[in-house]
Chain A
C-alpha cells in the first residue's frame, strides 16, 4: 500500500518522520501543511540536515498547493475563461444565497477564491475534466507528504481521497488531539473533524495504512499522563528518553509568585490563549502559534474552562481540549499553571 497515515501523540517526532522520509524518497516530492509556521519549520529542518532544500523537494502551504497546482491549471472548466483566479481570499465568504453553479460562489470580484470553497472547487474541476487535475499531479509529483493533517477539513478530505486513489504515494501525519486550527469551517465532513479523523482513516483501511505512535520523545511521563487524561479514550502515551531535572511535572502557582517562579526556573516560556490574558507583563506566546515547538518549561495562563477542568478533571465538560493539550505538551520537563487560588 503506497498511502500511509500516522496519527501520533505530541512529541512523537511526526515532522521529523516526514522530513526523513522526504529526503530518502526517490522522485519528486511535495511536502505540504496548513500553516506558514510549520512550512518554515520543515524547511529549516531539511536545511539543518542537508544544507539546502534538494531540487526534487517542494514545500508548499496547503492553500498554495490547492490554488496553484490544482485549481488554476484547469480553472477554465469552471470559469469559462483562462487566468481568472487571482489568489486566495482568506477572510471573505461567499454570499449565503450564492449558487454553486455560479462563479461568485467560489470567487470574489477580484478573482480571489474563498477559503471555504477552494478544495470544493478543485474536486469540481477534477470531475469536469475527467480527472485532469489529478493526472497532472501524477506527472509532477511521485510523493506527497501532508504534515498536521488534522488541520484539514471539509472538502480537503475529498482531495486527499482523490490523491490516495492516484499513482502518487500519499503520507499523512498528524494528531487529532491538536486540532487547534482548521482550513475550513463548513458543514462538509464535519464528523471527521478533530478526533473524528481517526474514524475517517479507519474507513479507508483498504487504501491507506493507518499507524499510531503512542510515544513522546519530548515530554516526561508526568506531562504525558496529564495530557492523556484530557483524551481518556485514546491510548496512553509513553515517554521515551526524557532526562530528569530537579523540577519535573505539573505545578500550580499564584499570580503573586509569577515573577519569582519565572526567574527561578528560567528560561520559562509563557503561553496564553490570546492577547487578552494578563501575563503580568511577561512576554507570551499564543497557544495556537506554539504548535510544533518544544520548550524546556512552560508557564500557562489558563482560560476559565481550563481552570474548571484543572479543578474537576472532567474532560467531558472541557470545551476546547485541543488547546490545553497543545499547551501542556510543549514542555519537556515542567508545566506551571497560573491559578487564582490553590486547592
Chain B
C-alpha cells in the first residue's frame, strides 16, 4: 500500500505531496491539474518504467519541471553555481515484512519510512562535460538531461530491483492502448500479475513445447529441407526456420487475449479498459498491489460503466485503487469521502474539510462540488438572478461568457463559506458576491475574515446599507428609461420598479441578461468583472 507520494520537479509537479488511503482514492481535477501525470508518476516510482521502457531511456528535458528549469537557467545567467534541477518521486509504502528492507531516511522528508525513490539528477561522472557545457553554451533553454543519471533506490539508500519491491502497480489507461511487440504492455503486465506463479510457469512450458512442435510438422520439415539445399551454396552450415524459443519470446509476447475469438485490441476500447480493470483488481497473485485506473468513464456506455464501478467497489478490499476521473457520476458512485481534489499542483482530501462542510457537500449532488474543482476560477453568487446579472456584466466587459474563460458562476445560496473552505484548499481564485442585507461592509469582511486573508479570495458587497439586495442596487444606478427599455415595462417610479423586480427576480434577471441594451452595473458587480 502506498501511504504517501512526494514529487519534486517531475513535469508539472514542482513540489507536491499527497497522502493516500488504503482502498479507494479518487483523483478529481480539471484537465491540466495533473491527474494523469500523478498516475504516471506513481507507476514510474514503483516500476522504473514508462510505457514499458526503462525511465533512463525515456528521460528528456520535458520531464523536468519547467519552472524549476527556468529558475535554474536564470541563476546560471546571473552567474550563480546552481546545479540543474533534480527530479524526485518518493513513494512511501506501508511497513510490512517485505518492505522493511526499504526502510531508511533517504527521502525528501528525512522521515524514517519504508519506500522507494526514482531520482534523475546531474551525474557526478559527467561533471567535467557538464561544466564545459555550461561554460560554452550561451543559450540554455532546457534542463541538460543528457548529463543526468537515473537511480531507482529504496529509502535505505540502496538500489532496488523490480523483484525487491513487493508492491506492484497495474495501470489501466483506456485513452491510449499502448502496443509493444503487438501486445499492449499494460495488459501484459496485468495478465502476468493476475495469474499465480504456477499458472505462469505452466503457460511458459506449454507455449514452449508448442513452438518446439512447430518444427516437427511435416510441411515445415519439407520447407526446411528446401532451405537447406538453397543455403548450401552459400554456407557450409544448415539453414532452417524455427520459432524463437529463447527466453525473450515468452507467452507474454506471443499470446494475445481474445474476447469472443476477437483479438483483444480489436474489441471496443471501453470493453478493453473494463476488462483490464477487472483483471487488475481481481488478481490472484499474492502481494500488495496498487491499481491505477485512468478515466474509467472513457469509451464506456452508461450501463457498462455502472457494472465496472460496482466491480471496483466490491473488489477493492485489501487493495489500493487509485482512480482519476472527470465524471461526477463516477465520483458520486464511488463516494465523495474518497475524493482527492487536485488543482494548481496542490491537493486536498475531501475528508479533511471541516466536518459540517463535508456533510453539506455530501447532501449536494456531486456536480456542484465538482464545478468549483474543475473551473479555473469561480464567482459565487446567492441565487439564479445574481448569476444571470453577473454573467451579463461579464459579457459586457469581456465580450464572452465567463465559462468560456474557465470561470464558473455558481449559485450557492447562503453557503458561501462551504465553497470557500474548498477554494482555500484548492488555492482557487474566487469572487464571493453577496447582498449586504442592510449591514455595513465591515460586518461582512469580519464574517469572511478567515477566507479573505488569502489573496485569491475577494468579497464583493454593495456598499450602501440602505440598499439591501441586487434589484434595488440595479435600480439605484440606472435611469428609469433604461430600466423600462431593458425590462420591456413602463414603470412610473423607481419604487415601482424595485417592487416589481423583487417580486419577479428571475424573470427580470433573464430580461437583463438577454436585452440588447446594456444596463449600468452596480459598483460591486463591476469590481468582479472589471479584472
Q: Enumerate chain A residues within 8 angstroms of B158, measured Cβ to Cβ.
A: 68-69, 72-73
Minimum Cβ distance to chain B for residue A236 (Å): 45
Nearest residue (CB) in A for B103 is A136
How far is the CB of B72 from the nearest CB of chain A, in Å?
Answer: 19
Interface flag for B436 (CB, 8 Å): no
Q: Is the CB of B101 within 8 A of A72?
A: no
The residue from A72, A77, A139 contacting B157, defined by CB atoms under 8 A apart: A72
8 A Cβ contacts from A71-85 to B? 72-77, 82-83, 85
Contact residue among A82, A85, A129, A140 (Cβ-Cβ distance under 8 Å from B107): A82
Q: Are A140 and B101 in contact (CB under 8 A)?
A: yes
Known contacts A72-B104, A76-B106; A83 and B153 CB within 8 A of each other = yes
Contact B157 A85 (CB under 8 A): yes
Residue A110 CB within 8 A of the other chain:
yes
Which A residues lie within 8 Å of B153 (CB)?
A: 83
B103 touches A69 (CB 8 A): no
Are B157 and A83 touching (Cβ within 8 A)? yes
Known: A72-B104, A76-B106, A139-B100. A110 touches B156 (CB 8 A): no
A110 and B103 contact, CB distance less than 8 A: no
Out of B103, B110, B119, B155, which one reaches A139, CB within 8 Å? B103
Contacting residues, chain B, for A110 (C-beta < 8 A): 124
Q: How close is A333's CB to chain B, nearest CB, in angstroms? A: 46
The yes or no answer to B105 lying at the interface (CB within 8 A) is: yes
Chain A residues within 8 Å of B110, by CB: 76, 82
Query: Residue on A with the closest CB to B96?
Result: A139
- Asked if residues B104 and A74 are in contact (CB atoms below 8 Å), the reply is yes
A136 and B124 contact, Cβ closer than 8 Å, known pairs A72-B106, A83-B153: no
A132 located at the interface, meaning its Cβ lies under 8 Å from any Cβ of chain B in the complex: yes
Q: Which residues of chain A come closer than 8 Å to B156, judged between CB atoms?
A: 68-69, 72-73, 136
With a cutoff of 8 Å between Cβ atoms, the chain A residues found around residue B157 in the complex are 68, 72-73, 75, 82-83, 85
Is B112 in contact with chain A by the CB < 8 A criterion? yes
| Nearest CB of A to B498, in Å | 68
Contact yes or no, A73 B104, CB < 8 A: yes
- Provide the bound-state CA to CA distance between A140 and B103, in Å: 10
Bound form: Cα–Cα A195–B119 in Å:
48
Q: A74 to B157: give the CA distance in the assembly, Å.
A: 9
Decide if B100 touches A82 in the complex (CB within 8 Å). no
In the complex, the answer to whether A73 meets B155 with C-beta atoms within 8 Å is: yes
Known: A69-B156, A139-B100. A82 touches B105 (CB 8 A): yes
Q: A83 and B112: CB pair below 8 A?
A: no
Note all chain A residues with C-beta closer than 8 A to B119.
83
Q: How far is the CB of A149 from chain B (nearest CB, A)?
A: 24
CB B333 to nearest CB in A, in angstroms, measures: 40
Distance from B262 Cβ to chain A, minimum over Cβ atoms (Å): 41
Instruction: Considering the complex, give the chain B residue whose CB is closest to the CB of A72.
Output: B157
A74 near B100: Cβ-Cβ < 8 Å: no
Chain A positions 56-113 with a Cβ under 8 Å from a chain B Cβ: 68-69, 72-77, 82-83, 85, 110
Q: How far is the CA of A72 from the CA of B107 in the complex (A)?
A: 12
CB neighbours (8 Å) of B100 from chain A are 136, 139-140
Contact with A along B106-132 (1 / 0, CB 8 A): 110010100000010000100000000
CB under 8 Å from chain A, chain B span 213-229? none
Across-interface contacts of A68 in B (CB, < 8 A)? 156-158
Of chain B, the residue at the smallest CB distance from A68 is B158
Cβ–Cβ < 8 Å partners of A73 in chain B: 103-106, 155-158
Measured CB to CB, the closest approach of chain A to B418, in angstroms, equals 41
A110 to B125, CA, bound (A): 10
CB distance from A58 to the nearest CB of B (A): 9
Q: Chain B residue with minimal CB distance to A28?
A: B97
Q: A72-B158, A75-B157, A83-B153 are in contact. Are A136 and B105 (CB under 8 A)?
A: no
Q: How far is the CA of A37 from the CA of B156 in the complex (A)?
A: 27
Tell me the nearest residue of chain B to A80, going by C-beta. Answer: B110
List the B residue with the shortest CB-CB distance to A84.
Answer: B157
Q: Within the complex, what minimum Cβ distance (angstroms) separates B367 from chain A?
A: 44
Q: Encode B506-531 as 1/0 by CB contact (under 8 A) with A.
A: 00000000000000000000000000
* Cα distance, A75 to B502, chains bound together (Å): 71
Bound state CA distance, A48 and B147, in angstroms? 45
Contact with B along A126-167 (1 / 0, CB 8 A): 000100100010011000000000000000000000000000
Q: How far is the CA of A68 from the CA of B105 in the complex (A)?
A: 13
B window 147-165: CB within 8 A of A:
151, 153, 155-158
CB distance from B155 to the nearest CB of A (A): 7
A126 to chain B, nearest CB (A): 13
CB-CB < 8 A to A132: which residues of B?
Answer: 105, 112
The distance from the CB of A78 to the nearest CB of chain B, in whole angstroms, is 11
CA A83 to CA B106, docked complex, whole Å: 6
Q: Quick one: which of A69, A75, A140 has the most chain B CB within 10 A?
A: A140
Q: How far is the CA of A14 from the CA of B236 in the complex (A)?
A: 56
Give a binary string over B434-457; 1 marks a CB under 8 Å from any A CB, 0 the rest. 000000000000000000000000
CA distance A38 to B254 in the complex (A): 44
User: Distance (Å) between the CB of A334 and the closest chain B CB?
Assistant: 47
Nearest chain B CB to A55's CB is how many angstroms away?
A: 10
Chain B minimum-CB-distance residue to A111? B124
Which residues of chain A have C-beta atoms less than 8 A from B151's C-beta? Answer: 83
Residues of B within 8 A of A82 (CB): 105-107, 110, 157
Q: What's the minimum C-beta distance from B143 to chain A, rounded to whole angstroms?
A: 19
For B103, B112, B155, B157, the residue with the greatest tally of chain A CB atoms inside 10 Å of its CB is B157
> Which residue of B is nearest A133, CB measured?
B104
The docked-state distance in angstroms from the alpha carbon of A110 to that of B124 is 8
Residues of B within 8 A of A69 (CB): 156, 158
Tell me the chain B residues, 307-346 only, with Cβ under 8 Å from chain A.
Answer: none
Known: A73-B106, A132-B105. 15 other contacts (CB 8 A): A68-B156, A69-B158, A72-B106, A72-B156, A73-B157, A73-B158, A76-B106, A76-B110, A77-B105, A82-B110, A83-B106, A83-B151, A85-B157, A136-B100, A136-B104
Residues in B lying within 8 Å of A, measured CB to CB = 97, 100-101, 103-107, 110, 112, 119, 124, 151, 153, 155-158
What are 7 residue pairs bridging A and B, where the CB atoms are less than 8 Å apart in the complex? A68-B157, A73-B155, A73-B156, A76-B105, A82-B105, A82-B107, A136-B156
Listed from nearest, the 7 A-B pairs whose CB atoms lie closest are A73-B104, A72-B157, A82-B106, A139-B100, A73-B156, A76-B105, A68-B158
